[in-house]
């Protein structure tokens, strides 16, 4: 039986530790074939000719899409179908939606808390906080993800993220057929 492909999406810089832990988990413990930007897509950096199409092809060839949301949105140098400027990470997400992949979203707890505050204070000034790149775009992206009704576990450490992914227990059947959509009872817990 062929290993299921799992596309790992996130901003690249600053998340190398999380990404390497998840790649190891998928490949060595779960028996999945991880596909990820930076190494398997092309080995290049943003702006290298063909990188975007190679990443989108990686998404299209996957059975599931795992998205890690942290403080970096990435460079909004791509365009969505409406002509809005977005990052490669968001473009990968839109490709996963278009291809009806099972989508799993994980968000750094601190970013989730900032987003909740931003929702009621959209004019929030991020200039003093250099930990965020393109913070308004990041907050808007997280809002769009929340509209997708995904169950979004929050994590503080790499160990938390690893445990959350193990709890979900991706399976070949889940990977191929069932998007991870939150049920009503989980939705009520999230809103409180």
- All residues at 6 or more sequence positions from 160 whose CB lies less than 8 Å from its CB, including other chains: none
For the chain, residues with pLDDT lower than 50 are: 40-46, 172-192
Distance (Å, whole) CA 106 – CA 88: 17
Range of the domain at 184: 5-191
The pLDDT, as a whole number, for residue 42 is: 36
- The first and second tokens of residue 1, run together, are 């039986």
Q: Are 46 and 77 in contact (CB under 8 A)?
A: yes
Distance (Å, whole) CA 81 – CA 94: 10
Pairing type for strands 85-86 and 78-79 reads: antiparallel
The pLDDT, as a whole number, for residue 179 is: 42
- The first and second tokens of residue 133, run together, are 């790149």
Distance (Å, whole) CA 176 – CA 192: 32
The pLDDT, as a whole number, for residue 11 is: 87
The pLDDT, as a whole number, for residue 170 is: 60
Domains: count for the chain: 1
Q: What is the DSSP letter of 30?
A: I
Residue whose C-alpha is closest to residue 25's, from 183, 180, 162: 162
Distance (Å, whole) CA 55 – CA 1: 25
Rounded to 10 deg, the angle between the 109-120 and 135-147 helix axes is: 90
What are 129-168's pLDDT values in tens digits? 778 889 999 999 999 999 998 889 999 999 999 888 887 7
**pTM (two decimals):** 0.81
The pLDDT, as a whole number, for residue 169 is: 64
Q: Which CATH number goes with the domain that contains 138?
A: 3.40.50.450
């Amino acid at each position: 039986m062929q290993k299921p492909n799992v596309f790992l999406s996130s901003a690249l810089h600053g998340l190398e530790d999380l990404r390497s832990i998840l790649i190891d988990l998928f490949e060595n413990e779960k028996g999945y074939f991880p596909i990820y930007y930076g190494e398997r897509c092309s080995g290049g950096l943003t702006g290298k000719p063909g990188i975007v199409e190679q990443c989108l092809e990686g998404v299209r060839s996957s059975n599931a899409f795992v998205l890690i949301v942290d403080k970096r949105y990435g460079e909004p140098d791509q365009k969505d179908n409406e002509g809005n400027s977005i990052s490669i990470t968001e473009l990968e997400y839109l490709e996963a939606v278009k291809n009806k992949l099972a989508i799993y979203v994980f968000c750094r707890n601190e970013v989730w808390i900032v987003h909740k505050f931003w929702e009621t204070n959209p004019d929030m000034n991020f200039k003093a906080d250099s930990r965020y790149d393109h913070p308004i775009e990041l907050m808007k992206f997280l809002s769009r993800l929340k509209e997708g009704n995904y169950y979004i576990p929050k994590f503080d450490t790499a160990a938390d993220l690893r445990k959350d992914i193990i709890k979900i227990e991706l399976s070949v059947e889940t990977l191929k057929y069932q998007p991870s959509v939150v049920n009503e009872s989980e939705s009520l817990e999230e809103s409180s």
